[in-house]
Amino acid sequence: MALIIRSLIDGYRYINDEISDPRSRDWFLIGTPWPGLALLGFYLHFTYRLGPSIMANRPPMKLDRIMQVYDVIQIILSSYLFYKALVLGWMNDYSFTCEPVDYSFSPKAIEIARTVHLYFIVKIIDLLDTVFFVLRKKDKQISFLHVYHHAGMVMGSWGGVKYLAGGHATFLGLVNSFVHIIMYTHYLIMSLKIAKPWWKKYITQLQLFQFILLLIHFSQLLWTKDCGFPRWPAAVFIPQNLFMIVLFGDFYYQTYVKKKPKKSANENGQANNEASNGKPKSQ
């Protein structure tokens, strides 16, 4: 038993200390996985237990102004990350085929690693999306896809800072930041009621294209000759992106392609009567 415990401790030290990026070991929430796991544990607890119990006998909170400020902050942060990813790598000397991580302490390498860390912090901030849904009692929006994607992005970006703060995997941050610029601009426009959202399905198409593009990008690691970037991330990101393509594809089909059954005349009359009596129509 003691030998098993010793082996587990040695394995943990090897994974957490010996093979991690030495530059990021002392950065916020990166030293060990436990603070991040505790944060995700509380996120899940709040989403499914604590939040709904708090809001059970309360009316939905009106958070329009708070969410508008939040959307603006997200647009600014995503735009900054997109810009930094371009100028530090992907618009200049980064190779789309395979790009190694520069683990040196040069100013540029440190700036790239710090940008990856900021991306991780932004993924934590993204968890507020779910908090706002809970407080506004938008239970239908809290799908498995939504929660899985948000929690998965936090874990994936933590691993990026811990082990791969730069190189090939930063293409994910580039693409995802661009998608978030579009998404949060959409949310802001909707909140301000500037225009009708005729473009909603195109945002989902953009998200699908994102995962297809990332699938191709990480698949290159399988057949590209060793360039200094490890191949094990392909084993993580290829199945992950395939799974997201399936989930988002199903959402797109159910929302925009599948024909909904037409209501009968009796159902329409009942709905109209409910509306005239002050009761909202089902959505």
Question: For the chain, what percentages of helix, strand and coil (3-state, to nearest 5) are there?
Answer: 75, 0, 25
How far, in Å, CA of 94 to CA of 88, rounded?
9
Please name the residues in contact with 214: beta carbons below 8 A apart, sequence gap of 6 or more.
Answer: 171, 172, 175, 237, 241
Listed residue (208, 132, 158) closest to 21, CA to CA = 158
Q: Which amino acid is at 98?
A: C
**Token representation of residue 168:** 């090939």
Exactly one of 45, 146, 149, 150 is catalytic; which is it? 149
How far, in Å, CA of 28 to CA of 51, rounded?
26
Q: Which conformational region is residue 142 in: left (phi greater than 0), alpha (psi within -120 to 50 degrees), or beta?
A: beta
Residue the block writes with tokens 């603006």: 72
| Catalytic residue check, 149 | yes
Listed residue (76, 264, 63, 68) closest to 181, CA to CA = 76
- Residues 266/269/270/275 CA torsion (nearest 10 deg): 160
Residue the block writes with tokens 């394995």: 11
Longest dimension (CA), the chain: 73
Q: Rounded to whole angstroms, what are the CA distances from 20 to 30, 81, 236?
A: 10, 23, 17
Query: Which residues belong to the active site?
Result: 149
